[in-house]
């Protein structure tokens, strides 16, 4: 029975244990912590309380009630406030009770990291990546505060994971590679990727399911913070450019469907508060960066900023473990060669390490490099957007 389960299902018990361990550690910290919340935490709690009061007597079919609801938070999108409301109803109103919502966002973050690692590399990489998330100093500090930062990390990661599933279809790639050398199979594969789908219900459902999920996640991400789009803009642009270059109209249609769903999800709040969003955008980004002393984008200090922050955000031991693991994975997949004299002639001898066949090693290396390149695209977009 266990062998028949999909690969991602087999890792769920361990992933659940990772989440539960983090939850126990976090709640134990709150049990002994007696510090007074800072101004930011108190301000966010006030915002959540405003939505909590509004949902005490909802008027679901009243347009004026919905308009008033969206205006309760005119500068900051309301997803964190709204998602905190059920926890305030169940466990009471207080700063510690409000931080329970971070358990929800921890589940979203760990699940997304697990999905990314498994889809781009392997099940083991996904589980290790999720486990390391609990140890990152830059993250566990955020988990202990009721702020927008931790939910923003979780929602951006969720959107990026679903975009990755939409971009990199492992089975399709494997099928295409297995048919290498067969011109007819390659031509049929390319033709299928460029054509639209048929209109039968099963095919239509498979075509719409993932783009709708991505669009819904993207819409919720934009309801977490407006600037979340900057973190995803570069990989989305890379996806669109690659689809255009390959004339994959099916992929472009899926991306447009995702945008349409995202717009419908976040439209009510943005339509109500668009004027304040436009007027406060520069102050919240450019002006605040200048006030905080951030280096300008055209300086070297801006581009090496995160290299200097590695000890605080990741810690050197975890960074070293991740880097060594990445290099070992690359070395296992790399096909190397050396020059040798054979029959009095200098020839290049290919070394496969005695592990697998040449086709397997080359396929693994291509998959490794494609995954790393995709992550680097996201990393570059992240660095560019925050600097």
The span from the CA of 288 to the CA of 109, in Å, is: 28
Kindly tell me if the per-residue pLDDT of 360 is higher than 50.
yes
Q: What does the block give as tokens for 186?
A: 């390659």
Taking the alpha carbons of 209, 123, 335, 351 in that order, is the dihedral positive or negative? negative
pLDDT in tens, 102-118: 999 999 999 999 999 99
The pLDDT confidence band at residue 51, using thresholds 50, 70 and 90, is: very high
Phi first, then psi, for residue 350 (nearest 5°) are: -85, 135
- Please tell me the predicted confidence (pLDDT) of residue 286: 63
The span from the CA of 347 to the CA of 369, in Å, is: 27
3-state class (DSSP) for residue 338: strand
Q: How much is the pTM?
A: 0.83
Highest mean pLDDT among 33-47, 147-161, 186-200: 147-161
């Amino acid at each position: 029975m266990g062998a028949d389960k999909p690969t991602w299902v087999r890792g769920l018990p361990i992933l659940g244990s990772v989440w539960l361990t983090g939850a126990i550690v976090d709640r134990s910290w709150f049990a002994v912590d007696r510090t007074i919340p800072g101004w930011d935490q108190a301000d966010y709690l006030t915002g959540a309380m405003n939505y909590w009061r509004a949902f005490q007597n909802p008027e679901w079919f009243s347009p004026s009630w919905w308009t008033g609801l969206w205006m309760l938070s005119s500068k900051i999108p309301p997803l964190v406030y709204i998602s905190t409301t059920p926890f305030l109803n169940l466990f009471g109103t207080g700063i510690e009770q409000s931080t329970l919502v971070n358990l929800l966002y921890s589940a979203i973050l760990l699940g997304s990291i697990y999905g990314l690692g498994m889809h781009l590399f392997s099940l083991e990489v996904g589980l290790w990546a999720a486990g390391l998330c609990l140890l990152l100093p830059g993250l566990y500090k955020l988990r202990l505060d009721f702020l927008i930062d931790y939910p923003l990390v979780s929602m951006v990661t969720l959107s990026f994971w679903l975009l990755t599933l939409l971009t990199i279809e492992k089975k399709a790639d494997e099928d295409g590679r297995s048919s290498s050398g067969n011109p007819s199979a390659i031509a049929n594969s390319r033709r299928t990727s460029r054509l639209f789908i048929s209109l039968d219900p099963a095919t239509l459902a498979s075509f719409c399911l993932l783009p709708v999920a991505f669009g819904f996640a993207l819409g919720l991400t934009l309801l977490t913070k407006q600037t979340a789009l900057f973190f995803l803009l570069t990989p989305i642009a890379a996806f669109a450019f690659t689809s255009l270059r390959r004339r994959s109209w099916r992929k472009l249609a899926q991306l447009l469907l995702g945008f349409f769903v995202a717009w419908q999800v976040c439209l009510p709040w943005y339509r109500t508060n668009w004027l304040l969003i436009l007027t406060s955008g520069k102050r919240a980004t450019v002006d605040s960066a200048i006030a905080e002393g951030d280096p300008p984008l055209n300086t070297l200090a801006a581009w090496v900023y995160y290299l200097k922050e590695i000890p605080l955000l990741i810690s050197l031991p975890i960074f070293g473990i991740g880097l060594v693991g990445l290099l070992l994975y690359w070395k296992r997949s790399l096909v190397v060669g050396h020059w040798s004299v054979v029959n009095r002639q200098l020839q290049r001898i290919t070394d496969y390490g005695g592990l697998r066949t040449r086709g397997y090693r080359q396929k693994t290396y291509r998959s490794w490099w494609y995954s790393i390149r995709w992550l680097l695209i996201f990393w570059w977009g992240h660095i560019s957007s925050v600097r």
